[in-house]
């Protein structure tokens, strides 16, 4: 992993996508394509920039562990949602970080809430679900509903589930430079 501290934060983030975004996401799209598609669906649905940026960055941690591609198929849960949120924690406000941190929890919650949800998940999402603890239990779900960013967490999860379309046209990474710079906690 290369994170040059002399680079502007937005360039550090983009360099991670450029170095690792080619990794196979697991559904015939790369990590970069998956990130751009997830953000694109949020944008097309008229979501706020904070939701769009959470979508863009929700799998940032996937690109920054060294456990290889498609690790779920090898029975490993890298806790990529926690890794990603931690790496971004000094850069962005909680309104962006929490849906990143909770996007696996949101999947587990939706499996509890909507009986058919798990069937709609992609194959690799269903596979990783088991490693991530399976559907929430009642107590976990009720606790998750009290999260101040609960609604945003569910939205990001829904766009995450959509962003797996081979060959889909999207805006490019550079188009997010302005929105990222607007929400950075430190000046670029």
Stretch that binds Fe ion, among 56-64, 87-95, 106-114, 142-150 (CB under 5 A): 56-64
Distance of closest approach, residue 158 Cβ to Fe ion, in angstroms: 11
Q: How far apart are CA 160 and CA 56, in angstroms?
A: 9
Contact (CB, 8 A) for 56 and 36: yes
Is 33 a binding residue for Fe ion by CB under 5 A? The answer is no
Distance of closest approach, residue 123 Cβ to Fe ion, in angstroms: 14
47 versus 160: smaller Cβ distance to Fe ion: 160
Is 31 a binding residue for Fe ion by CB under 5 A? The answer is no
Give the number of C-alpha atoms closer than 13 A to the C-alpha of residue 175, restricted to the C-beta side.
Answer: 12
Q: How far apart are CA 159 and CA 40, in angstroms?
A: 9
Indicate the DSSP class of residue 102. Answer: T
| SS3 category, 123 | helix
100 versus 180: smaller Cβ distance to Fe ion: 100
- Interface with Fe ion (CB under 5 A), residue from 40, 47, 59, 98: 59
Is 47 a binding residue for Fe ion by CB under 5 A? The answer is no
# chain residues binding Fe ion, by CB under 5 A: 2
59 versus 98: smaller Cβ distance to Fe ion: 59
33 versus 160: smaller Cβ distance to Fe ion: 160
Stretch that binds Fe ion, among 10-18, 107-115, 152-160, 165-173 (CB under 5 A): 152-160
Q: Angle between the 31-44 and 150-162 helix axes, to the nearest 10 degrees?
A: 120
- Interface with Fe ion (CB under 5 A), residue from 160, 161, 164, 170: 160
Contact (CB, 8 A) for 124 and 70: yes
Give φ, ψ of 8 to 5 degrees: -60, 145
What is the token pair recorded at 106? 């949101």
What is the token pair recorded at 77? 């849960």
Residues that bind Fe ion (CB under 5 A): 59, 160
């Amino acid at each position: 992993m290369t994170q040059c501290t002399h680079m502007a934060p937005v360039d550090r983030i983009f360099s991670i996508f450029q170095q690792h975004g080619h990794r196979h996401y697991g559904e015939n799209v790369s990590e970069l394509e998956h990130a751009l598609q997830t953000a694109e669906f949020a944008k097309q649905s008229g979501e706020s920039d904070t939701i769009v940026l959470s979508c863009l960055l929700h799998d940032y941690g996937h690109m920054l562990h060294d456990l290889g591609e498609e690790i779920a198929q090898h029975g490993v849960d890298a806790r990529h949602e926690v890794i990603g949120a931690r790496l971004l924690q000094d850069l962005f406000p909680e309104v962006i970080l929490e849906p990143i941190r909770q996007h696996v929890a949101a999947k587990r919650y939706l499996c509890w809430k909507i009986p058919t949800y798990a069937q709609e998940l992609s194959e690799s999402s269903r596979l990783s679900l088991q490693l991530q603890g399976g559907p929430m239990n009642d107590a976990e779900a009720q606790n998750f509903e009290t999260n101040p960013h609960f609604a945003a967490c569910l939205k990001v999860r829904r766009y995450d589930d959509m962003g797996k379309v081979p060959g889909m046209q999207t805006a490019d990474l550079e188009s997010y430079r302005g929105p990222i710079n607007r929400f950075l906690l430190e000046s670029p």
